[in-house]
Amino acid sequence: MSISPKVTPIYQTSVFTFEDLNALEAYFEQPGQSYLYSRNGNPNTDELAEEVNQLENGQGAVATSSGISAILTAVLVYCQSGDHVLCAEEIYGGSAALLTQELTRMGVQVSFVPMGEMYSFGNYVQANTKVLLVETISNPMMTVLDLAKVAVECQKQGVKLVVDNTFASPVITKPLELGADIVIHSVTKYLSGHSDVTAGVVVAKVTEDAQRAKQIVVAWGLNLSPFDSWLAARGLKTLKLRIRQHSENALALATYLQNHPKVSEVYYPGLSTHPQNGLASAQGKGWFGGMLSFRIKDEVETVNRFMRGLTHIPFAPSLAGVVSSVSYPLGTSHRALTEEQRAKLGISIGLIRLSVGIEEAEDLIADLEKALAAI
Ligand SMILES: Cc1ncc(COP(=O)(O)O)c(C=O)c1O
């Protein structure tokens, strides 16, 4: 009997068997031809990594247990104790916490670069600076970086560029083609797309960096499980379709919100009023993604009334699922920031982040209309 499944089965095993010592020797002599132990590699994990590697046009990738472990891996590819990391000031709170609270304890220094200085950050570079970490589209203000320009500055300064491409996805932007050295994703978000997986991936421009990333994942035990890899690989098959629908819906909702009297500001790169609209259009091939933020009255009770007024859009502090959700940066992702830092980033009481799903746009607008009528 010959079985040939169309879809890779789930290799839900922690270890693989060998017929004899010769088979074991063959494993070490011919890398990639067989498997030993799932922390070192598993067909489902490798399939996911290779799919993302191709989407990002890389020279090698490794799947990780989360987006945060992907960032940790990327930093460790280039840094050791005594080195210095630069990080964009507008960054996911968990990434900032990893750098400032954990990596500093291991002797890695960190400095934050204001968004206005991302194209000329020479003043922040030290002799031991190894890496700059940035996001393609920042959270929650949706600032879009000109990655090609950042990459030129990185080359000038002798600093490696690591790009968190979670908000854009490779359908919208491929950072390695624009000069990045490593691109990472929280696969938890658009790449898997269904809010049922926690995963990450690291994709490198050169083979040596990909090999080093793999070595780190194995040594630190940052690997992803076979089942989560399988779920993420399944989600990935519809990435392009989903991103188009997310983008179309988000533009419709951003336009609606912009014209609503109770909404004072809308942050979406697809709006002509967005400061980087032209750049986002060119860099994103006309797609702007599914994430937007908007501002209502800076009053806790108003925000609560809005949240309670939504019927179909849940309040859930994550993003990028097929089902829309709202999140609250002040109380979740940016909770740890000081009042001064929040004020600088524009994160006030009335700022709401909306992850636009792939439902019918008119149904989403009707839900927003009802919630806004309640405030
Ligand atoms: C932009 C960005 N990068 C990284 C992460 C971390 O990913 P994970 O939660 O999968 O560890 C997040 C999580 O929200 C994120 O929004």
Q: Which atom of ligand 1 is nearest to the CA of 91?
A: 1
What are the helix (H) ranges across the chain?
21-29, 43-56, 67-78, 93-97, 147-157, 207-220, 226-236, 239-258, 277-283, 300-309, 339-345, 361-373
* CATH code (residue 127): 3.40.640.10
Name the nearest CA neighbour of 52 among 224, 236, 240, 242.
236
Q: What is the pLDDT of residue 333?
A: 85
Catalytic residues: 39, 92, 164, 189
Q: Which amino acid is at 309?
A: G
Q: How many CB atoms lie under 10 A from the CB of residue 282?
A: 12
CA atoms within 13 A on the CB side of 350: 14
In the chain (375 residues long), the average pLDDT of successive 10-residue segments reads 94 98 96 94 98 98 98 98 97 92 97 96 98 96 97 98 98 98 98 98 98 98 98 98 98 98 98 96 93 97 97 94 96 86 91 98 98 96
Domain-ending residue, one of 184, 219, 236: 236
Map tokens 């002599």 to a residue: 29
* Whether the Cβ atoms of residue 96 and residue 87 lie closer than 8 Å to each other: yes
Phi and psi at residue 149, in whole multiples of 5°?
-70, -40
Note whether 252 and 196 are same-domain residues: no
Domain-ending residue, one of 236, 254, 286: 236
Structure tokens at 109: 């220094």
* Whether the Cβ atoms of residue 181 and residue 209 lie closer than 8 Å to each other: yes
Distance 163 CA to ligand 1 centre (A): 12
Q: In this structure, is residue 93 part of a structural domain?
A: yes
* Residue with CA nearest ligand 1 atom 12: 186
Q: In this structure, is residue 150 part of a structural domain?
A: yes
Protein residues with CB under 6 Å of any ligand 1 atom: 66-68, 92, 94-95, 135, 139, 164, 166-167, 186, 188, 198, 200
Sign of CA dihedral 335, 336, 340, 342: negative
Q: In this structure, is residue 46 part of a structural domain?
A: yes
* Residue with CA nearest ligand 1 atom 6: 67
Q: How many CB atoms lie under 10 A from the CB of residue 330?
A: 19
Q: Which atom of ligand 1 is nearest to the CA of 333?
A: 14
Structure tokens at 171: 């359908």
Helix axes 300-309, 361-373, angle to 10 degrees: 140
Q: In this structure, is residue 6 part of a structural domain?
A: no
Domain-ending residue, one of 184, 207, 236: 236
* Residue with CA nearest ligand 1 atom 9: 67
Distance 181 CA to ligand 1 centre (A): 19
Q: What is the pLDDT of residue 285?
A: 86
Distance 64 CA to ligand 1 centre (A): 12
Tell me the residue range of the domain where 253 lies.
239-373
Task: Let me know how many helices (H) and strands (E) the chain has, helices first.
Answer: 12, 11
Between CA 241 and CA 234 the distance in angstroms is 13
Note whether 226 and 258 are same-domain residues: no
Q: Which atom of ligand 1 is nearest to the CA of 199?
A: 10
Give the count of domains, the chain: 2
Between CA 229 and CA 226 the distance in angstroms is 5
Between CA 106 and CA 229 the distance in angstroms is 30
Note whether 260 and 183 are same-domain residues: no
HEC-encoded secondary structure of 60-81: CEEEECCHHHHHHHHHHHHCCC
Q: Is 260 exposed, middle or buried (0-12, 13-18, 19+ CB in 10 A)?
A: middle
